[in-house]
Amino acid sequence: MNCKRYILILIISLLVPKINAQDSLRSRNIKGQVFLQDSTNVPARYLMVYIKETGNTALTDEQGKYNIRISGNYEDSVSLEYSFIGYKSQEIRLLPEKKKDTTEIAPVFLLPQPIMISAAYILPKGKTAAEYIISQVWKRADENEKKLKNYGAEVTYNLSSHEAPTIAKIIPSAMLAIAKGWATISGFGPTARLCLKNDDVNITATLNRHVINGKTIDTDNRIISSNIELDKKTEENFKEIFSHFDLFDLLYGYHGSWRRRFTKHETFELVGTYEYGDKLVDVLEWKSEGRLTAKAHIIEDDWGILKIQINYGPEAIRCEARDIGNGIFMPVSLVISPSATLIPAEKIPRAIAVVNNMRTINKKTKKRITDILKSRIGQDFNPFMTFGYNIRYDKINPTPQY
C-alpha cells in the first residue's frame, strides 16, 4: 500500500460526500435492493435512486439496499430511476398505494451500459470532438448561470467519519499540526476536532435554500440526526460549513480552479456514446500519468453534465445531476465511496509487508502503521471521513415566488 496514495485519498474524502436521504415530514417509504448484473449478481453499493416527479434521491448501502421517502401527498404514481456509472439506467413506474406507508419493490438488476461509437461532429478547425463538447458545456454553463436567479432547494448534508483518531496516530505530528491549523483557518476547527476525538461520527442536517434575484438565503438549517452529543459551538460550526454553499459550482466548478484546469491544462478524450431516454450521452475520459482518472457524461444538445466520476485507483467521487427545469442540469447527489479507503481483511497481511518494505517513511511511522494493521488482522480496516449532499429542487421560477 502506497502511504502517499492512502493520505491523498483521505484528503480527497474530506472534500466530498456520503449521503443518506432523510425527511422529517410524514412520508411514504419505498424500499428495495439493486444488483449489478455482470457474470455474477453483485450488490450495487452507493447507487443513486431518483424519483423524477419529486426530485427525491437516496443512495444504496453496502448491500445495495435503499429506503427512499416521499413526503406529503403521494396519491399519484411515481417513476423511480436507478442510475450507476457504467451501467444502463433502469426506470420503474410505481402505482399509488393509499393504504400503505411502506412499499417494498422486487430486486432490480442493472446491465452493463453498451457504449456505441460516437457520431461524427462538424468540428471547428483545430479542435477535437472532446474539446468541442467541453467548450459547449462551458458555453451553456455561462448561459445557465445567468438563469439561476430564482429557485428553491432542500439540501440534506451529512458528515461521516470512521477511525479518524487512528489515522491521526499514523500521520507525522508536524503534518497533523498543519492539517489542524488548516481546518481552523478554513472555519471548521470544532468539527474537525470532534472527528479526531471519536472513532465513529455520523451527523445529518438539512436546510431550505431560496435564491431570489440571485441572492441566496438559507433557512431552517438544523441537525436532524447525530450519533453523538454535540455542544452548541460544534453544532453551529457544522451548520455554518454548509451554509451558502454554491450548488451550481459543485457540479461545474464555475468559480473554482478545476474548470480552468480541465479547460487549459488537461485533455479529455471522447470514448463513446449511449442512449439515455430520447437523448444521447457522450462519455469523455481523462487520465493522468498516475492512477487518477475522470469520466464526464454529457447530454448532447442540452450540453449539461449528467454524471461525473473521479477515480484514484478505486472509485473516489461520483456526482449525479438531473435537469431541474429550463434545461439546467444541477447536482442531485454527490458521494465518495468508503470503499476507496477499504483494506479488506484478506489483504491486511500483504499491506503489512508492503509497509515494512517502504523506504519513504521512517521507522517510527512504519511501526505505528504496522501495529494498527496487525490489530485489525481478521477484519476489514476502513477509515474514512466524508462530507455529502442530497438535493431536491423546486422548479426554477422566472420571478420570485417566496
**pLDDT winner (highest mean) among 67-71, 261-265, 322-326, 349-353:** 349-353
Q: Three-state DSSP class for 358?
A: coil
Give the side-chain half-sphere CA count within 13 A for 277.
8
Answer whether residue 22 shows pLDDT above 50: no
Least confident of 16-20, 91-95, 312-316: 16-20
Give the confidence band of 233 by pLDDT, cuts at 50, 70, 90: very high
Distance CA 137, CA 74 (A): 36
Residue 16's alpha-carbon distances to 182, 284, 316, 398, in angstroms, are: 17, 22, 9, 31
Give the alpha-carbon dihedral of 164, 168, 170, 175, to 10 degrees. 130
Range 58-71 average pLDDT: 81
Give the confidence band of 303 by pLDDT, cuts at 50, 70, 90: very high
Instruction: Kindly report the average pLDDT of the chain as a whole number.
Output: 79
Q: Which residues pair with 222 in a beta bridge?
A: 206
Range 50-72 average pLDDT: 79
Q: Report the pLDDT value the prediction gives residue 266, as an integer from 0 to 100.
A: 63
- Indicate the domain borders of the chain: 3-113+128-342+382-393
φ, ψ at 287 (rounded to 5°)? -130, 140
Distance CA 324, CA 322 (A): 6
Range 6-35 average pLDDT: 54
Q: Report the pLDDT value the prediction gives residue 127, as an integer from 0 to 100.
A: 80
CB 172, CB 365: distance < 8 Å: yes
Give the confidence band of 315 by pLDDT, cuts at 50, 70, 90: low
Q: Report the pLDDT value the prediction gives residue 25, as an integer from 0 to 100.
A: 42
Give the confidence band of 4 by pLDDT, cuts at 50, 70, 90: very low
Which one, of 370, 24, 15, lies nearest residue 207 by Cα? Answer: 24
Q: Three-state DSSP class for 163?
A: coil
Distance CA 395, CA 55 (A): 10
Which one, of 87, 88, 82, 89, lies nearest residue 68 by Cα? Answer: 82
Range 251-264 average pLDDT: 64
pTM of the model: 0.74
Answer whether residue 133 shows pLDDT above 50: yes
* Percent of the chain whose pLDDT exceeds 70: 81
Range 147-168 average pLDDT: 85
Instruction: Locate 120 and state its grid cell.
Output: 461524427
